[in-house]
Amino acid sequence: MAHEPLIDIALLTPETATGQAADLLKGAKARMGFLPNMYGYMAQLPGVLAGYLSAYESFRQTAGFTPAEQETVLLVISRANNCDYCMAAHSMLADKKSGVPADALAALRAGTPVPDAKLQALASFTERMVISRGQPTKAEVDAFLAAGYEPTHVLGIVLGIATKTYSNYVNHLAGTEVDAMFAAYKVA
């Protein structure tokens, strides 16, 4: 269930947008084959959509995580930020595209321990980074690194948090409705 909108902004489409917003929406639709609802709200201020798209692509391409680890990071952040839209979208991606085992996905959605020890270490540290606003303890960093991650993965989590800050916050403000393709994964 989407949150009630907190601001009154229109959902832009490639047909209703102009300038940079139209270009960004057309490009996103061409790459993805559809246009997620949240993009239409982000496009109201093209810098938000451009920043999100850049951060998202960079996270996917450069953070050094496997697809399953990427979804772990994005799901934990979205759950911590209570973003129903992103929980549904990333649950679908985790299930259909990223190879997250069903038991791990169920745990990530519920906020319970993940059966895979390495994914659990990633989930725990990601949550700690969000909750502490980027101020984990040295012991927490060391535990994360001891689980098999590198210092650059810590920065990868920062990039994931930046990415999800764009989307989680816009979805809260706009009350973004979950797209039909993600509907089966809505948070109960």
Mean pLDDT in the chain? 97
Residue 1, pLDDT > 60, answer no
Q: What is the mean pLDDT of residues 130-140?
A: 98
Residue 188 binned pLDDT confidence (cut-offs 50, 70, 90) = confident
Residue 2 binned pLDDT confidence (cut-offs 50, 70, 90) = low
Q: For the stretch 18-27, what's the b/e string if a residue is b when 16 or more beta carbons lie within 10 angstroms of its beta carbon?
A: eeebbebbee
pLDDT digits (tens, 9 = 90+) for 38-94: 999 999 999 999 999 999 999 999 999 999 999 999 999 999 999 999 999 999 999
Residue 183 binned pLDDT confidence (cut-offs 50, 70, 90) = very high
| pTM metric for this prediction | 0.96
Which residues touch 169 (CB under 8 Å, ≥6 apart)? 81
160 burial type by CB count under 10 A (0-12 exposed, 13-18 middle, 19+ buried):
buried
Percent of the chain with pLDDT over 90: 97
Is CATH 1.20.1290.10 correct for 19-185? yes
Residue 174 binned pLDDT confidence (cut-offs 50, 70, 90) = very high
